[in-house]
Amino acid sequence: MAIRLGDTVPNFTQASSQGDINFYEWAGDSWVVLFSHPKDYTPVCTTELGEVARLQPEFNKRNVKTLALSVDDTESHLGWIKDIEETQKLTLNYPILADGDRKVSDLYDMIHPNSLLNLTVRTVFIIDPNKKLRLTLTYPASTGRNFDEILRVINSLQLTDKYSVATPANWKDGQDCVIVPSIKDPKELQEKFPKGYIQVKPYLRLTPQPNK
């Protein structure tokens, strides 16, 4: 059965380009972006894996580890990583799970046979330090993902956890946030939002981004 938002994600141990990984131990207290791609030595995947390597400083700032997956084996991953490093001009410094036996792909429902027989589609899981699933999205094999959007969602989730704000449509870092509807007590509002807020409707209250 598919893993749903708010579920505790299952643990696994699997081989990777950086040795065996026990997922819970490897993740530790970090957030994790776990993302699957269809196949090694394919063009869109090559650009995606390179982009995630390029964005490592942004993931690190947010306490996020990244973990790729495809159903190819470790030897294939190691050869392909050389190509990624050469063509994308960077060092690939995070692991790729070698899920040849489809253990993790099946556990996380990453194979959608009516779209791509036997290969993983482009799924992303954002998992928080409590191992809860906070976002999932699935792209077709032919469309490379927008990893700036993944960082934007992580910013939003971390703001919600720390400051009780949500983020409106097309929100970008630095823009006004919305106060979560559950906060109604005037004293709590004053304490949590010292910069004040604008009440557009009783359920729509805008406040400056709390951590800026």
CA distance 141 to 39: 9
Q: C-alpha distances in angstroms, 54 versus 12, 46, 70, 107, 210? A: 27, 12, 20, 29, 28
CB of 49 to ligand BEZ, least distance (A): 10
Task: Report the residue number, 115 or 199, with the smaller CB distance to ligand BEZ.
Answer: 115
Catalytic-labelled residue, pool 9, 15, 33, 45: 45
Inter-axis angle of helices 74-88 and 43-54, nearest 10: 70
The footprint of ligand BEZ on residues 42-101 (CB under 6 A) is 42-45
Max Cα separation, the chain? 60
Inter-axis angle of helices 43-54 and 147-163, nearest 10: 40
CB of 141 to ligand BEZ, least distance (A): 4
Task: Report the residue number, 94 or 193, with the smaller CB distance to ligand BEZ.
Answer: 94
Task: Determine whether 177 is an active site residue.
Answer: no
Task: Report the residue number, 21 or 45, with the smaller CB distance to ligand BEZ.
Answer: 45
Helix residue ranges per DSSP H, the chain:
23-27, 43-54, 56-61, 74-88, 103-107, 147-163, 186-192
CB of 42 to ligand BEZ, least distance (A): 3
Task: Report the residue number, 23 or 35, with the smaller CB distance to ligand BEZ.
Answer: 35
Q: Report if residue 142 touches ligand BEZ, rule: CB under 6 A.
A: yes
Q: Report if residue 112 touches ligand BEZ, rule: CB under 6 A.
A: no
Short-list 180, 171, 183, 128, CA closest to 8 = 128
Task: Report the residue number, 46 or 156, with the smaller CB distance to ligand BEZ.
Answer: 46
Q: How many residues bind ligand BEZ (CB under 6 A)?
A: 8
CA distance 29 to 195: 31
The footprint of ligand BEZ on residues 147-176 (CB under 6 A) is none
Q: Report if residue 182 touches ligand BEZ, rule: CB under 6 A.
A: no
Task: Judge contact between 158 and 171, C-beta under 8 A.
Answer: no
The footprint of ligand BEZ on residues 2-41 (CB under 6 A) is 38-39
Q: Which residues are catalytic?
A: 45
List contacts with ligand BEZ (CB under 6 A).
Answer: 38-39, 42-45, 141-142
